[in-house]
Amino acid sequence: MSIRFDRTGTLYLAAPLLGVLARGREGKIPILMYHSVADEDESALQPYYWIATTPAQFLQQMTLLHERGYRTASLASAVGLLQDGRGTVERTVVITFDDGYRNFCRHAFPVLERFGFTAAMFLPTASIGDRPEVFNRRECMTWADVRELQQRGISFGSHTVTHPQLHGLDPDRIREEVLRSRQTIEDKTGCAVDSFAYPYAFPQTDAAFKAMLRAILEESGYRYGVCTQIGRAGAASDPLFLERLPVNSADDPKLLQAKLAGAYDWVGGLQSLAKRVRRPRTKTGSQK
Ligand SMILES: [Zn+2]
């Protein structure tokens, strides 16, 4: 089955419908989720599961944001805008990267810098060293890379220490992953860390787990967080579990534009529904 259900539904059902419904009840901010920016062959997988964006596509995507007048914001200011309700959130976007891949330095940062864009990178700290280490078959940035990027406007958050499936771990292990990663980044950079990205598929329908994790994140000093729940962030979003829009090489300008406008948010509803149907507790999910 090679039909892209998410792409087809977004471009041919949701986007036209949104247009009819008067430009969607706005007030939402797209938070883009990237991983690797490199020429990688992921053709064995459905595009929905790709985590790489080619440098050419990344340039095209950032060019689209620039031409459409988007400004990039930090997670803190995005949440501030959403909760304040006074300023406009229109044409605001947050750009995030998970996993600390070193190809960010070569292929993503120069493009971001050219357009005056900022971004947040989430690090699995066990894979960040003084020399490049490998996570998920890709080279990761070093602490020297991290410090240099930070001086040039990129912000860094935690993506745990060892990138485990947190769902199902006991609270002490979770606390260790969450707290130690923050302390390590702060020690290595000298800057405060207040944001966290949940590794792998987020168990968004498990309310008890979410409450436990929220408490651990709060007591560990986090104020903002992102996850793999699909959608744009709104005033009702949990600041520690903000929805994101996954982006990869399959996002041509047409699809990316539709996602930014909210025409992909329905996939998040489908994602939650699928998890409810699949419960109790599966640990499977996309490798993000
Ligand atoms: Zn990850």
Mean pLDDT along residues 277-288: 55
pLDDT at site 25 = 53
CA distance 12 to 264: 11
**Mean pLDDT across 205-210:** 96
6 occurs within a structural domain: no
Q: Please report whether residue 4 resides in a domain.
A: no
> Would you say residue 257 lies in a domain?
yes
Residue 217 has pLDDT above 90, yes or no: yes
Residue 11 belongs to some domain of the structure: no
For the whole model, what pTM was predicted?
0.91
Asked if pLDDT for residue 21 goes beyond 60, the answer is no
**pLDDT band of 108, cuts 50, 70, 90:** very high
3-state secondary structure of 83: helix
Q: Please tell me the distance between residue 205's alpha carbon and the centre of ligand 1 in angstroms.
A: 20
CA-to-CA distance for 57 and 240, rounded, in angstroms? 29
How many A from CA of 229 to the centre of ligand 1? 13
Q: How many domains does the chain have?
A: 1
Distance from the CA of 99 to the center of ligand 1, in angstroms?
A: 5
CA distance 144 to 156: 13
pLDDT in tens, 113-156: 999 999 999 999 999 999 999 999 999 999 999 999 999 999 99
Instruction: Write the DSSP symbol of residue 244.
Output: E
Q: Ligand 1 centroid vs 153 CA: distance in angstroms?
A: 22
Please name which of 14, 11, 19 lies closest in space to residue 265, comparing C-alpha atoms: 14
Distance 101 CA to ligand 1 centre (A): 10
Note the pLDDT tens digit of each residue in 176-197: 999 999 999 999 999 999 999 9
Is there a domain that residue 17 lies in?
A: no
- Alpha-carbon gap, residue 231 to 30, rounded angstroms: 8
The tens digit of pLDDT for each residue in 62-80 reads 999 999 999 999 999 999 9
Tokens 């529904």 belong to residue: 273
Boundaries of domain holding 232: 27-278
Q: Is 7 a member of any domain?
A: no
* Domain CATH number, residue 187: 3.20.20.370
